[in-house]
Chains A and B, each alone.
Chain A
Amino acid sequence: MSELQRELELLRADVEFPATPDIAATVGQRVGRPARRRPRAPRRLALALVAALVLLAALTAAVPSARDAVLDLFGLDGATVEIRPELPSSETAPDLRLGERSSLGAAREAADYHVLVPAALGPPDGVFLNRAAPGGEVSLSYRDGRLLVSQFRGDRDPDYVGKIASQATTVHRLEGAVWIEGAPHFFFYRMPDGGLREDTLRLAGNVLLVERGELLVRIEGARSERRALEIADSLR
């Protein structure tokens, strides 16, 4: 070690750094958002489990279909993912019901929130606006519709959308996000009258649901969880 390096070693002990702020609580609040987190998720999970038990009992007794049995439930603000033994059958033609074709500028005007755009994907090849969604739902289409980024205010109606997946589907719970991969799964909107409008997913079965502040963002059709997370990270 040179004389200069030895002096630098001594200097280290004498340097006066600004006091380190304690940011743990602030970071904890930002990543965990306990103030905004609603207690409904565990309650809903408990309710779902009770419902599943009741339904399973009923199914064992008489009904051969297992349509309504919920094996697990993942909750985010604005969406639920339910794992069921079997997928419901549907005659509905694949249709994403994206709403009217729009432009980014017009969609931004119409939505009552700041519309996020993923910088990682460049300009979208289509912009759609669904005015029926609470606060407006904006969908950005990429790769000729093979990749879709949709967003709406999850805080306006916590049960606006849902997904029903089978046991064959991989569901990976992340903090503030859920990754669903593999077997096709159902996607539904809950209408204002409480009824469900079910729809099969047109896209490949990979979906990342991400909470971003008051928004719930759906990234559908990304090649992998990693790519979906990269896209989510680039949302501005």
Chain B
Amino acid sequence: MEDRPPQEKPLVERARRGDVEAYEELVRMHQTIAFRTAFAVTRSAADAEEAVQEAFVKAHGALGRFRSGAPFRPWLLAIVVNEARNRIAAGGRRERLALRAGEERRQEDAVPSPEAALLSRERREELLDAIESLPERDRLVIWCRHLLELSEAETAAALDCRRGTVKSRLSRALERLRAELGEEA
């Protein structure tokens, strides 16, 4: 996941020189992963949107300090998570929603994928409920690595820890998830 789109570096350079259109292009390139990461923290779409918007504005203001040639995404996600946590700290003014599994849309597909058949709707709900019941530290590392498919480096940046810590934290989080599900390791 650390492979960068080839156009990212020139866009960052243009944005650093004050090209707003180039920065808008960068925003479009990363807004989905940024929004989903913020949602993982806030579990409120409205808070996540505010956090991501603020994070992109702050990232733009800090572009002068961004190391030239470095991947943009981990740096951005660190700012996103920080902003999302600020929203939580500012007060739970919005209802926090747990993520839900998709509707039974796969069953309506003309040709269901073989994977879809392997995970029943009940199992999906059970897994999501169990993840949701974990402490934030465990929940976020599972979200980042498994649901958002962030790399270890990106997860480390987002959670402000070392890559080695991501491994150990994920291992412990999975143990707790198994316990929550009432399963043996």
Contact = CB atoms under 8 A, between A and B. Distances in A.
Interface of A: 2, 4-5, 7-18, 20-28, 30-32, 34, 172-176, 225-226, 229, 233
Q: Which of B25, B27, B58 has the most CB of A within 10 A?
A: B27
Contacts of A8: 127, 142, 146-147
Interface stretch (B2-10, B28-36, B152-160): B28-36
Contact of A226 (B23, B49, B52, B65): B65
Contacts of B102: 14-16
Contacts of A7: 119, 123, 127
A32 B57 CA distance: 10
B35 A21 contact: yes
Contacts of B48: 18
A24 B65 CA distance: 21
Given A7-B119, A175-B18, A233-B61, A12 B146 contact: yes
Contact of B24 (A16, A27, A175): A27
Contacts, number: 122
Most interface-central of B35, B36, B185 (chain A CB within 10 A): B35
B21 A12 contact: no
Of B21, B24, B102, B106, the most chain A CB neighbours within 10 A belong to: B24
11 contacts: A2-B185, A10-B119, A13-B115, A14-B119, A15-B124, A17-B35, A18-B45, A22-B28, A23-B53, A24-B31, A28-B23
Contacts of A34: 20
B146 A5 contact: yes
Contacts of B39: 17-18
Contacts of A24: 24-25, 27-28, 31
Q: Is the interface of A mostly helix, strand, loop or mixed?
A: helix
B174 interface: yes
Give the interface residue-count category, chain B. 35 or more
A210 B61 CA distance: 10
Contacts of A176: 61
Interface secondary structure of B, over-half rule: helix
Given A17-B99, A18-B45, A34-B20, A27 B53 contact: yes
B146 to A, nearest CB: 4
Contact of A30 (B52, B57, B177, B178): B57
Contacts of B23: 27-28, 31-32
Contacts of B87: none
A26 B60 CA distance: 13
B183 interface: yes
B100 A16 contact: yes
A4 B174 CA distance: 8
B64 interface: yes
A32, A172, A176, most chain B CB atoms within 10 A: A32
Interface in B100-119: 100-103, 106, 115-116, 118-119
A15 B99 contact: yes
A229 B28 contact: no
A155 to B, nearest CB: 20
B70 interface: no
Contacts of B116: 13-14
Nearest to B22: A28
B62 interface: yes
B31 A23 contact: yes
A210 to B, nearest CB: 9
A2 B183 CA distance: 12
B147 A12 contact: yes
Contacts of B178: 4
Contacts of A4: 174, 177-178, 181, 183
